[in-house]
Amino acid sequence: MKKSIFENKKNLWISLGIFGVMVLFVLPIVFDVESKSAQQKQSSLCYINLQRLGTCLLQYEQKHGKFPQALSTLVKEKYISPEFAKSPLDGSEYVYLNNVNKHAPFNVPLIAESIASHVTPRNERYGMVLLGDFSVVRVGERYLNLYVNLIKKLRKVAVINDGKLLLEKLNSELVYRTDNETINLLLAKLGQLKYQPAIPTIKRCQNYYNPANTEMRSLARSIAFQANYTLFQLAANYDDKFMAKFLKSDNYFHRKKAWRVLNAKKAVPVNTAISPRHAEVYYNQRVRKK
C-alpha cells in the first residue's frame, strides 16, 4: 500500500515536470503570435489610413481642381478627422507633396510616413508610402528616408509653372540623371501646361534611356512611358495604336483619358459597361485588322 502511494506521488511529480516543460515551450510561441498579430493590426491601420487619405485627395481634387496645400486642409474642410491626418501608430506627421494633382506620374510619392515605426518579425524597420497611382507600398527604413528627401526635392519642382524654366530644369536633370521621379514630374508638368517648345526634348526622353543594363530597365520604362503620355497630351492628332498603349497604364487617370479619346473616335464600342482592359482586347482584335 505504501509502495503504491509512493509510486503515485512519483508519477504525479513526473507529470508536473512534463507539464512545466511544455509550458516553457508553449508560452513564448503564444506571446510571439500575439506580438505578430498586434504588429499586423498596426500595419493594417496605417495601410488603410494612407488609402483613406488618397481617396480624400481625389475627392478634394474633384471639387477644387488640385490637391490641398496641406493635409490639415482636409481636416478643416471635414474630409477626414484630425486623427487620420497623422500616423495611427505613433502620431507622427506625414510628409506630403503638394502643388500636384491626380495626373501626377505613377511612381512619384504623394505621402510618406516620416518615421519607420513598423517592425518586421526579423526586427527590420519599415514605413509606408502612397504613390502617384494611389497604391500603398511598404519600404525599408533606408528607402523611406530616400522617399522623404525626394518629396522635399519634388516640392521645389511642383511649384514651377513656367514652361521655359521647367524645360531648362528637365535638360539639367537629363544630364545628371539624379532620379527618374523628378524627370517624370517635370515631363508631367510640361504636358499639363501644353508647352509645345518642349516636344523635341520630350522625344529625346523617349530614346534617351534605352540601356542594356538590367538595373536600368525599370528607370527606362518609367521615363519612356511618361514621355509618351506627355506627347499624348501635347499632340493635336492621336494615333489609335499610340493611344491604345495607355490602356495598360498603371495610372487609372491615364487609362481613363485614353479610353475617352478612343471612344470619341469610335475606335472602341461606346459602352460604359466595357472596361479599358476589354477595350484593348477589342482594339487588338478588330481595329488593328482594318
Our count of domains for the chain comes to 2
* 71 and 166 within one domain: no
The pLDDT of 261-278, averaged and rounded, is 58
Half-sphere exposure of 224 (CA within 13 A, CB side): 13
Q: Which residue has the higher pLDDT, 135 or 257?
A: 135
Instruction: Dump pLDDT digits (tens) for 184-217.
Output: 999 999 998 889 899 888 888 877 555 544 445 5
State the pLDDT at residue 180: 85
* 101 and 204 within one domain: no
Q: How confident is the model at residue 130 (pLDDT cuts 50, 70, 90)?
A: very high
Task: For the chain, give the percent of residues with pLDDT over 90.
Answer: 29
How high does pLDDT run on average in the chain?
Answer: 77
Q: How confident is the model at residue 290 (pLDDT cuts 50, 70, 90)?
A: very low
* 120 and 169 within one domain: no
Look at residues 204, 197, 138, 135 and name the one whose alpha carbon lies nearest to residue 162.
197
Look at residues 108, 134, 114, 128 and name the one whose alpha carbon lies nearest to residue 54.
134
Please give the Cα distance from 206 to 263 (Å, whole number): 26
* 103 and 175 within one domain: no
CB–CB of 188/101 below 8 Å? no
* 91 and 23 within one domain: yes
Q: Which residue has the higher pLDDT, 259 or 141?
A: 141
DSSP 214: G
Q: Which residue has the higher pLDDT, 5 or 125?
A: 125
* 219 and 113 within one domain: no
CB–CB of 190/198 below 8 Å? yes
Q: Classify 238 in phi/psi space as left (phi over 0), alpha (psi -120 to 50) or beta.
A: beta
- pLDDT for 119 beyond 80: yes
* 138 and 206 within one domain: no
**Length of the chain in terms of residues written:** 290
* 174 and 93 within one domain: no
* 53 and 7 within one domain: yes
The pLDDT of 126-141, averaged and rounded, is 91
- Final residue belonging to a domain, choices 129, 157, 185: 157
- pLDDT for 67 beyond 70: yes
* 278 and 171 within one domain: yes
The pLDDT of 160-181, averaged and rounded, is 88
- Final residue belonging to a domain, choices 99, 133, 157: 157
C-alpha distances in angstroms, 57 versus 8, 35, 99, 256, 289?
72, 33, 12, 18, 41
Residue 194: which residues within 8 A CB-CB, separation 6 or more? 233, 234
The pLDDT of 262-268, averaged and rounded, is 68
State the pLDDT at residue 272: 43
CB–CB of 98/77 below 8 Å? no
Instruction: Dump pLDDT digits (tens) for 40-64.
Output: 667 788 899 999 999 999 899 888 8
Q: How confident is the model at residue 21 (pLDDT cuts 50, 70, 90)?
A: low
Q: Range of 230's domain?
A: 160-287
Residue 155: which residues within 8 A CB-CB, separation 6 or more? 97, 98, 99
- Final residue belonging to a domain, choices 157, 182, 203: 157
* 244 and 265 within one domain: yes
Look at residues 196, 195, 206, 226 and name the one whose alpha carbon lies nearest to residue 104.
226
* 139 and 11 within one domain: yes
State the pLDDT at residue 203: 83
CB–CB of 112/129 below 8 Å? yes
Q: Is the dihedral of CA 192, 196, 201, 206 positive or negative?
A: positive
